[in-house]
Amino acid sequence: MPSTALQVILKERSGRNQCYDEALAEGVLPLRMMQIPAGTFLMGSPKDEPERHAERESPQHEVTISQFFMAKYPVTQAQWRIVAAMEKVNRKLNPDPSQFKGDLRPVEQVSWEDAVEFCDRLTVHTNRQYRLPSEAEWEYACRAGTTTPFHFGETLTTDIANYRGTDDESLGGSGSYGDGPKGKYREATTTVDHFGIANAFGLCDMHGNVWEWCADYWHQNYDGAPTDGSAWIQGSNSSQRVLRGGSWGNGPRYGRSACRGSSNPGDRYSSYGFRVVCTALRKQATAPNALTFGVMGGGVMLAGTGQTIGDGEALTFGVMGGGVMGGGFTGWKLGN
């Protein structure tokens, strides 16, 4: 944990978050999908935020988000290999594209098109709708109720995120942000669980490590942006897609919650990765005697069993007989 002298305040998180695990293969870290609650937030950066990209991050606007699930971590190389071996939907996938090797490192050197194919294959395999997050969903999940430049607070250090913590003389970029210190430049990705610190929604690596692809086409600013959290694909530059979060090779200003990047959908760089989202759980009448569950007192209760699964305990789902099975019950499935 970072020293208090670093002037970074890590707020105590009250309670834990509901989630489920999407198991891919034995011995491979499952996709832990964190429940992101519905809510409304102010998207974009305020005019007094240091080092903001004024045009790209304006105007600030209110967006209402529906509940969804987001992966706790960026997709790892081990997870990528499993899905890359599944039957093709639209395009081939390189099973080992990354420059910095390691099963628990994020997959990188994957394009937007590759990421969409990954989601499509996962959807077919699980019978649940996986996709890239919209840009609004990504920022909402990253902020997790905060309004500061980072979900950690007013600044960032390389003790809690992987970014370039040294000055970049060639581009004139600073290794520090605000009143924060300079730090390390690792010159590579780190494993997705390296820092062991999550935001209030239970998400890790939202600042730095790899830029994360979003579903949206690129728009230069937020004039006319949707306010319902949907991906913005109308009236745009269709040759560019949105990236969020900054990376191991960028200074801290690029890791801010509001910072936006763009690239061609076919580009593959060692700083480009992604994480997946899935829509909310919905009830499905699959069998006359199906058990159901619902949130009660911060936990999940399995109706008719007397068994309670507490906050933060994962439910592992598998497709069975057209429904979804988890913890010995059926009757719920993931929606659109």
Q: Is the pLDDT of residue 12 over 70?
A: no
d(CA 41, CA 228): 11
For the chain, the structural domain boundaries read 1-10+19-279, 284-334
CA torsion, ordered 252, 258, 259, 262, to nearest 10 deg: 150
d(CA 256, CA 82): 32
Q: Is the pLDDT of residue 281 over 90?
A: no
336 or 265: which leads in pLDDT: 265
Interval 119-132 mean pLDDT = 96
Q: Is the pLDDT of residue 203 over 70?
A: yes
Can you give the pLDDT at residue 68?
Answer: 97
285 or 260: which leads in pLDDT: 260
Calculate the average pLDDT of the chain: 83
Interval 133-158 mean pLDDT = 98
Residue 25 sits at φ, ψ, to 5 deg, of: -165, 155
Query: What's the token pair of residue 99?
Result: 């420059």
d(CA 330, CA 293): 9
Q: Is the pLDDT of residue 13 over 70?
A: no
Q: Please, which pLDDT band fits residue 115 given cuts at 50, 70 and 90?
A: very high
Can you give the pLDDT at residue 296?
Answer: 27
d(CA 147, CA 150): 8
Can you give the pLDDT at residue 313?
Answer: 43
* CATH node for 1-10+19-279: 3.90.1580.10
Taking only the tens place, the pLDDT of each residue in 87-113 is: 999 999 999 999 999 999 999 999 999
pTM score = 0.83
Taking only the tens place, the pLDDT of each residue in 41-57 is: 999 999 999 999 999 99
